[in-house]
């Protein structure tokens, strides 16, 4: 989660080509829970943790890694900033998002 907060670009692939692992399931669960927080317009850390836990359990993942509230807040703030940039565009404009190259 902290690599996403740092702006590392996810490698987009067809979901059918991805190997189903617990790590992927946790990542998908984090995204789902964060989308709920973004729709609410504010980050409720307890609700975010609950959402991640429930989404993981629905995927059969019971060994859920601890979630850091600071990292969740960084992801939320980055998403909010990106959304603000998107909303400021005219209908004919596009938004280019450049991601830093991972260093680790």
Q: What is the pLDDT of residues 24-73, one digit of tens each?
A: 899 899 999 999 999 999 999 999 999 999 999 999 999 888 888 999 99
Host H or E run for residue 53: helix 45-58
State the total domains in the chain: 1
Q: State pLDDT tens for residues 61-93.
A: 998 888 889 999 998 999 899 989 999 999 999
Q: Does any domain span residue 58? A: yes
Cα separation, 72 vs 90, whole angstroms: 30
Q: Does any domain span residue 96? A: no
Is residue 82 within 8 A of residue 97, CB to CB? The reply is: yes
3-state secondary structure of 59: coil
Domain that holds residue 54: 2-87
Q: Does any domain span residue 95? A: no
């Amino acid at each position: 989660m902290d690599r996403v907060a740092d702006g590392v670009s996810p490698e987009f692939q067809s979901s059918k080509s991805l190997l189903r692992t617990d790590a992927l399931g946790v990542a998908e669960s984090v995204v789902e829970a964060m989308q709920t927080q973004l729709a609410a317009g504010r980050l409720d850390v307890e609700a975010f943790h609950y959402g991640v836990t429930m989404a993981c359990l629905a995927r059969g993942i019971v060994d859920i890694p601890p979630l850091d509230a600071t990292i969740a807040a960084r992801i939320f703030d980055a998403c909010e900033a990106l959304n603000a940039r998107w909303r400021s565009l005219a209908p004919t404009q596009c938004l280019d998002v450049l991601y830093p190259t991972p260093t680790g």
